[in-house]
Amino acid sequence: MRAIPIAVTALVAALTLTACGGGGDDDGGTKATASPASDASAACKVGQVGIEVDPASAAPAAGDTGIVPVTITNTGAQCTLEGFPGVGLTSGEVSATVAGDEAAQPEKLTLAKDDTATFTITYVRGEAAGAGSLDAKTVQVSLPGDAATQDFPWSYGPLAGKAGKTAADDPDASVSPFQHAGD
């Protein structure tokens, strides 16, 4: 009765050693073989994607909330988006950086060629020529892991600052994480 478990153990050990590969190199030693290519992809770069600022649900009056959707289409090799997009709003020499939504948890997205992802910029409209408002003219978009930006016109009205702050110091706005778009 004991011979069967010992025989099975010996067989499993022999098969395990055989599966490890015994390919020798020129020195008579063994080489470690690389595992198959993993799902790791390089970070998506501004130069390899198309970025489109889609028609917005603009805030009609001061104090109202607006939403600006942005679509990213991968036009190059497979790449990943991990983290929040970078968004900056500028008016002349004054600028504001829009932070990621504190309540959201970004996920790593892998985009094959022609895949799309989206994110939204949610903002509170400020007073026209208001002391704490930023009369933004340009929105700059960057991707995690890439310092390059792409600029688009901002035509959705001035940006409000959070309570007691200016929009340049602490804009009343946030950016959502990336989400897959399409089917």
Which structural domains are found in the chain, ordered by start? 42-181 (2.60.40)
pLDDT band, residue 22 (cuts 50/70/90): very low
Per DSSP, the three-state class of 138 is strand
Please tell me which residue, 135 or 8, carries the higher pLDDT value.
135
Residue 157 CB contacts under 8 Å (≥ 6 apart), including other chains: 58, 59, 66, 125, 126, 128
| pLDDT tens digits for range 44-72 | 999 999 999 988 899 999 999 999 999 99
Q: In DSSP terms, which residues pair with 111 in a beta bridge?
A: 79
The Cα 111–Cα 77 span in angstroms is 8
What number is the average pLDDT over the span 132-138? 94
Of 8-22, 45-59, 153-167, the poorest mean pLDDT is in 8-22
For residue 28, is pLDDT > 90?
A: no
| pLDDT tens digits for range 80-121 | 999 999 999 999 889 999 999 999 999 999 999 999 999 999
Strands 86-91 and 116-124: unpaired
Instruction: Phi first, then psi: give them for residue 125, nearest 5 degrees.
Output: -75, 135
Q: Which residue has the tokens 């198959």?
A: 36
